[in-house]
Each structure stands twice: as C-alpha cells, then as structure tokens.
C-alpha cells in the first residue's frame, strides 16, 4: 500500500505545482516570495530544479512498483518516508500561496526530514539492487538536498512575514540561519559519507543565493552572498575529503551495514 502511495504522491507534486503557478490557490510562489524579501532568497532560475526533481521522483515511484524491486526490503522501508515526503512537498505549495507561513514551515521541515531519512537508508544499504542508485538514491537525494536549503529560506521568510526580527537590518539573524543551514548540511553529508547528489542540489541553491544577493541592494546582501559561497566551498571540501576516505562507497566494509 505504501508503495502505491509513493506513486500517487509523486503524481500529485507536479499537478499541484502547475495549479499553484496558475494562481488556483492564490498568488504564485514567485509573487509571494517577492512580497517578503530576505537575505537568503535564491535567484528565480534556481527553482527550475523542481522540474528535474519531479521527473526523477515520478520515475522512481514507477520503478519501485515493478519487477524484482517489489521484493526489495530497503525500498519497502523507505516507501512510507518517501510517500510522506512527497505528500508534504505537495501540501506546502498551496499553503504558501495562501500565506499559511507557519504551517508551511512545519510542512517543509517535515518533508526535509522524510527525504533525508530516505537518502540515509539508501546510502547505508550494503546490498543495493541493480539500478537502485540511479532510480532511487539519485532522485531522493536531490530532493532532500534542495529541501535542506529551501527549508531555511522559508524560515527567513517567516521571520520577515511576521516581523519576528528587524526587516531592515536582516544580516544578524540571517547569519544565524545561514549557520543552522550549514550545520545541517554538513552533518547530513557526513552521516552519508559524502552524498554527491545531495550536495549538488544544495550547491545549486547556495550559488543561486549568491547570484540573487550579489545583485541586491538590501543592507547586508553582499555579505550574505559571500556567506552562501563560503558554505558551498566548505561543503565541497568536506565531500572531497569524505569521498577520498570512502572511495569504494559509503561504508568502509561494504559487506557490513551499520546497525
């Protein structure tokens, strides 16, 4: 049942995204984001990654329902987490359009946790099925990596929307949020011993933050831009070190999965 829910939720994501951007639930995401400018917002082009994520998630959802994969214990373990992550991603879109920012924050961090859980389970599978990296680990890791930044961008918008801190001098509290985001990215990447797909999605977001903030006239924007690049550099260096330490895969001994 949970595997079928994965497919249904994967189909729902692009459908609801199209409805949201068509104005069905309210202003589109770009319009809503522009209403609450922050020092963590990314350039608009970066959100095109959702098209790739949705496509790969759909392929994964169909793949895990067919053939010998139906008997794969690892895919069975991640199915409830993937279904929940996809469903939460879907529900975030209309909630954001309807300005339900507190709910959005809970939902997006919930989706992030679910997709990270999927990526970690797959990363620690000592006997992966053929095709698992391409059709499961790749899409779920990309989704998790993008959400790991998007959740903190959403947090910054909540601060601005509800004026929880200064909206004219955003740099001090923005640096704190950057720090939290960096901590989570580095800890998750360390736990997965350098998940390149996870890191690529995060880097895409960080570079887009740099592009947006380097051209912004908001106070502190230039500093925010370079902080984003700094986090990206540290994340790349960490990944290179981890891949050198574990050149054959996630685990030092591929025959032994962690307990």
Per-residue pLDDT reduced to its tens digit, 211-251: 999 999 999 999 999 999 999 999 999 999 999 988 755 44
Nearest to 239 by CA among 145, 170, 173, 175: 145
Per-residue pLDDT reduced to its tens digit, 63-82: 999 988 888 899 999 999 99
**C-alpha span between 60 and 56 (Å, rounded):** 6
Inter-residue long-range contacts of 54-57, CB under 8 Å, 24+ positions, other chains counted: 54/10, 54/13, 54/14, 54/17, 56/138, 56/139, 56/142, 56/143, 57/10, 57/13, 57/86, 57/139, 57/140, 57/143
Provide the percentage of residues in the chain whose pLDDT is more than 70: 95
Contact 142, 200 (CB under 8 A): yes
- Average pLDDT for the chain: 92
Domain ranges for the chain: 2-245
Examine the pLDDT at 91 and tell me if it is beyond 70.
yes
């Amino acid at each position: 049942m949970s595997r079928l829910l994965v497919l249904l939720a994967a189909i729902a994501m692009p459908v609801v995204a199209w409805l949201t951007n068509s104005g069905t639930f309210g202003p589109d995401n770009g319009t809503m984001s522009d209403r609450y400018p922050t020092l963590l917002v990314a350039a608009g082009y970066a959100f095109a990654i959702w098209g790739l994520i949705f496509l790969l998630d759909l392929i994964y959802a169909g793949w895990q329902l067919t053939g010998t994969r139906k008997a794969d214990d690892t895919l069975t373990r991640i199915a409830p987490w993937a279904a929940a992550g996809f469903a939460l991603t879907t529900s975030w879109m209309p909630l954001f359009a309807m300005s339900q920012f507190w709910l959005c924050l809970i939902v997006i961090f919930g989706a992030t946790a679910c997709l990270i859980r999927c990526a970690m389970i797959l990363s620690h599978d000592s006997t992966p099925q053929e095709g698992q990296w391409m059709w499961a680990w790749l899409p779920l890791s990309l989704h998790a990596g993008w959400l790991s930044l998007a959740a903190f961008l959403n947090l910054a918008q909540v601060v601005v929307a509800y004026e929880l801190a200064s909206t004219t001098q955003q740099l001090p509290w923005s640096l704190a949020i950057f720090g939290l985001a960096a901590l989570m990215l580095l800890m998750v990447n360390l736990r997965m011993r350098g998940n390149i797909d996870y890191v690529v999605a995060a880097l895409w977001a960080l570079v887009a933050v740099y592009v947006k903030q380097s051209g912004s006239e908001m106070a502190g924007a230039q500093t925010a831009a370079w902080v984003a690049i700094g986090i990206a550099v540290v994340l790349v260096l960490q990944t290179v070190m981890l891949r050198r330490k574990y050149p054959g895969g996630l685990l030092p001994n591929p025959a032994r999965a962690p307990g």
